[in-house]
């Protein structure tokens, strides 16, 4: 959810079959394109609520028409949603349109996609993005006190910009039909969730990585969605020595992984299901003072309290990114320079408290939020329609015939993969059965991945799922098991070329090159134990299969 996403990677084609089909479908229509790359021509193609203020041919990362403008919304008052639209040359266009989902609180106009990373224009997509009606740092939600900006950020801004930029895209290429995709994670997944539930007609396919801000992030005993962040701040400032440094979390992670590696039936330095892992942290207690290879009693207490009180997974503990990279005291400023090092939990809780409780000087370390105040924050959010439990009735999406794929990291410390799993189950129940849901919604849980990526999972998880979504939308191929990869020599990226400004800071995954066979829920990936003695067999996807259970 912070700025500047970086992933090391290579480049792979979207797929000759799918891409070639799109080219031949639209080839004849391109000659009849009615709009050109200038303000007047594109303004004529745009809806009345749109103002185009620039349109120029640029050469990076490939030659394309770069269009900028804003769409004005008027209820409850005028508000501008700035956008950027990138239109590749007609000979390079693949018939596809891609909308960038922004992490955190958005607040800027993107050029590159966050997740998957890179600029889709380099692979023949028309690309659009918006600031969702405000400008602010990525962890600053104070604009939600403005009803117009709140409405635009929640769902309206992305909707009106999508309608406008899709109209201009069709006019530029002289076509009536384009394939429309949306992808994002966390805040970007939240944008996708709003599309799925409120504007299902806007996109043919939506790839939604953990739709942050839509579910309680804490334990069921703490129903307020901000409680998990409050608990983390309280534990890290509970007493001298209670803060968990990145080095100590990494140490604990290594011990937990070694102890629980075989719980899923495969010795591969991975915990595929953290529910199967139990660990006694007292076995790591320092015997003669603090040291790098042990845990002090305050550190053990912090870990045990966080695991007991919140939904943070025991796997990949070095991804507990909300605890801060530096020890307290912390600055609660949401500015990127600070948010990248301080406790994100403190930053988020502070901006929420100041916005929802109208307490601009609130210090939640010295004056922690009470349960009643957490409930009050929920009530305020409910009034503006933000951050509430998601609608499980996806019949509107079902009626459109459009498709959606949800995904979550198994080791996500922000938003439990199990909460999203339960949401998918509830979606199926609302439709009269999981089989009905499976016709247009899929769900994947990414092993080793933290919030949107990182950890010890694959590099190209979002790329491979977008490939699967495109094949489902355009060719009717329902997604099944997806092979994902870790390591630059194996990872395959769908459109990463000259990526520059692509969003959130999530470190690339660590570990040797390998494959992951990731199964579509409710199936799980199981290793063929007969291959266990073959060197490297556990890292090859061909030795895994999708089954109903790991037992």
Examine residue 351 and state whether it is found in any structural domain, yes or no: yes
365 assigned to some structural domain: yes
Same domain, 278 and 396: no
> What CATH number is attached to the domain comprising 118?
3.40.50
Same domain as 309, residue 235? yes
Does 43 reside within a domain? yes
- In whole angstroms, give the CA distance from residue 533 to residue 538: 9
Please report, in tens digits, the pLDDT of each residue of the chain (551 residues total). Answer: 333 322 222 222 223 333 333 333 333 334 445 789 999 999 999 999 999 999 999 999 999 999 999 999 998 889 999 999 999 999 999 999 999 999 999 999 999 999 999 999 999 999 999 999 999 998 999 999 999 999 999 999 999 999 999 999 999 999 999 999 999 999 999 999 999 999 999 999 999 999 865 454 444 433 455 678 889 999 999 999 999 999 999 999 999 999 999 999 999 999 999 999 999 999 999 999 999 999 999 999 999 999 998 888 999 999 998 999 999 999 999 998 898 889 999 999 899 889 999 888 899 999 998 888 988 888 888 888 887 778 899 999 999 999 999 999 999 998 889 989 999 999 999 999 999 999 999 999 999 999 999 999 999 999 999 999 999 999 999 999 999 999 989 999 998 765 444 445 567 899 999 999 999 999 999 999 999 999 999 999 999 999 999 87
User: Closest Cα to residue 106, out of 389, 413, 504, 453?
Assistant: 504
> Both 449 and 538 in a single domain?
yes
**d(C-alpha 130, C-alpha 48), whole Å:** 18
Which residues 6+ apart lie within 8 Å of 103 measured at CB? 1, 2, 5, 114, 115, 138, 184, 185, 186, 187, 188, 212, 452, 503, 504
- The pLDDT, as a whole number, for residue 226 is 65
> Using CA atoms in the order 343, 344, 350, 352, what is the torsion angle rounded to 10 degrees?
-160
Considering the domain architecture, whether residues 39 and 185 belong to the same structural domain is answered as yes
CB-CB contact of 276 with 314 (8 Å): no
Domain containing residue 27: 16-215+389-497+504-547
Residues 6+ apart with CB under 8 A from 220: none
Last residue of a domain, one of 384, 412, 446: 384
Looking at residue 212, its pLDDT comes to 66
Specify if 2 maps to a domain: no
Q: Any idea which residue has 């939308």 for tokens?
A: 473
Domain annotation covers residue 222: no
What is the rounded end-to-end Cα distance, in angstroms, of the chain?
36
Indicate if 194 and 233 belong to the same structural domain. no
Total structural domains within the chain = 2
**Does residue 401 fall inside a structural domain?**
yes
State whether 469 and 348 are in the same domain. Answer: no
- With residues binned 3-state (H G I as helix, E B as strand, rest as coil), the percentages for the chain, rounded to 5, are 35, 15, 45
Quick one: CA torsion of 159, 438, 410, 540, rounded to 10 degrees? -120
Inside any domain, residue 220: no
DSSP state of 497: S
- For residues 176 and 242, membership in a common domain is answered with no
Domain boundary among 336, 366, 384: 384
Residues 209 and 322 in one domain: no
Residues 398 and 295 placed together within one structural domain of the fold: no
In 74-146, where do the E strands start and end? 79-88, 96-100, 125-130
Q: Both 350 and 402 in a single domain?
A: no
Residue 221 lies in a domain: no
List the alpha helices (DSSP H) in 261-315.
297-309
Task: Write down the pLDDT at residue 476.
Answer: 98
Residues 251 and 315 in one domain: yes
Asked which of 335, 365, 384 is the last residue of a domain, the reply is 384
Structure tokens at 337: 């320079």
Instruction: Return d(Cα 302, Cα 411) in angstroms, integer.
Output: 18
Helix (H, G, I), strand (E, B) or coil at 202: coil
Which conformational region is residue 453 in: left (phi greater than 0), alpha (psi within -120 to 50 degrees), or beta? left
Rounded to whole angstroms, the Cα distance separating 523 from 526 reads 9
Residue 25, pLDDT score: 37
What does the pLDDT read at residue 64?
98
Report which of 139, 115, 122 is spatially closest to residue 7, judged by C-alpha positions. 115
Cα dihedral across residues 279, 283, 286, 291: positive or negative: negative
For the beta carbon of residue 496, count every other beta carbon within 10 angstroms.
Answer: 26
Residue 206 sits in the same domain as residue 324: no
């Amino acid at each position: 959810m912070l700025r500047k996403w970086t992933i090391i990677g290579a480049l792979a084609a979207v797929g000759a079959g799918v891409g070639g089909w799109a080219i031949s479908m639209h080839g004849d229509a391109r000659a009849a394109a009615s709009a050109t790359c200038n303000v007047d021509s594109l303004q004529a193609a745009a809806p009345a609520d749109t103002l185009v203020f620039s349109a120029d041919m640029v050469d990076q990362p490939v030659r394309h028409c770069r269009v900028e403008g804003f769409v004005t919304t008027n209820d409850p008052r005028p508000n501008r949603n700035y956008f950027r639209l990138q239109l590749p040359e007609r000979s390079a266009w693949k018939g596809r349109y891609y909308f960038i989902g922004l992490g955190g609180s958005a607040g800027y106009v993107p050029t590159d996609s966050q997740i998957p990373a890179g600029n889709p224009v380099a692979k023949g997509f028309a690309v659009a993005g918006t600031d969702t009606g405000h400008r602010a740092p990525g962890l600053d939600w104070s604009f939600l006190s403005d009803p117009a900006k709140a409405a635009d950020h929640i769902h309206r801004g992305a909707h009106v910009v999508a309608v406008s930029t899709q109209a201009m895209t069709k006019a530029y290429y002289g076509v009536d039909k384009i394939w429309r995709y949306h992808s994002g994670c966390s805040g970007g997944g939240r944008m996708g969730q709003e599309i799925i539930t409120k504007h299902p007609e806007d996109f043919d396919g939506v790839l939604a990585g953990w739709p942050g801000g839509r579910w309680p992030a804490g334990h069921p005993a703490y129903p307020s969605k901000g409680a998990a962040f409050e608990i983390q701040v309280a534990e890290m400032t509970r007493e001298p020595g209670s803060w968990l440094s990145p080095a100590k979390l990494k140490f604990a992670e290594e011990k937990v992984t070694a102890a629980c590696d075989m719980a899923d039936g495969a010795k591969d330095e991975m915990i595929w299901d953290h529910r199967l892992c139990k660990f006694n942290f007292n076995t790591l207690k320092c015997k003669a003072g603090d040291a790098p290879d042990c845990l002090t009693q305050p550190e053990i207490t912090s870990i045990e309290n966080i695991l007991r009180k919140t939904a943070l997974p025991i796997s990949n503990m070095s991804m507990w990114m909300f605890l801060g990279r530096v020890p307290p005291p912390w600055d609660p400023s949401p500015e990127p320079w600070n948010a990248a090092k301080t406790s994100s939990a403190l930053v988020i809780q502070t901006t929420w408290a100041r916005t929802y409780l109208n307490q601009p000087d609130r210090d939640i370390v010295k004056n922690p939020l009470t349960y009643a105040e957490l409930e009050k924050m929920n009530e305020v959010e409910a009034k503006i329609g933000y951050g509430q439990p998601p609608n499980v009735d996806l019949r509107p999406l079902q009626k459109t015939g459009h498709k959606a794929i949800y995904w979550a990291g198994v080791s996500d410390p922000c938003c439990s993969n199990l909460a999203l799993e339960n949401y998918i189950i509830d979606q199926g129940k609302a439709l009269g059965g999981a089989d009905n849901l499976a016709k247009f919604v899929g769900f994947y849980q990414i092993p080793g991945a933290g919030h949107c990526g990182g950890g010890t999972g694959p590099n190209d998880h979002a790329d491979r799922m977008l490939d699967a979504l495109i094949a489902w939308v355009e060719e009717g191929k329902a997604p099944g098991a997806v092979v994902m990869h870790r390591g630059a020599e194996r990872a395959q990226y769908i459109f990463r070329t000259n990526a520059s400004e692509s969003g959130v800071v999530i470190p690339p995954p660590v570990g040797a090159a390998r494959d992951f066979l990731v199964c579509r829920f409710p199936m799980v990936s199981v290793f063929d134990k007969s291959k266990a003695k073959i060197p490297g067999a556990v890292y090859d996807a061909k030795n895994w299969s999708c089954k109903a259970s790991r037992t």
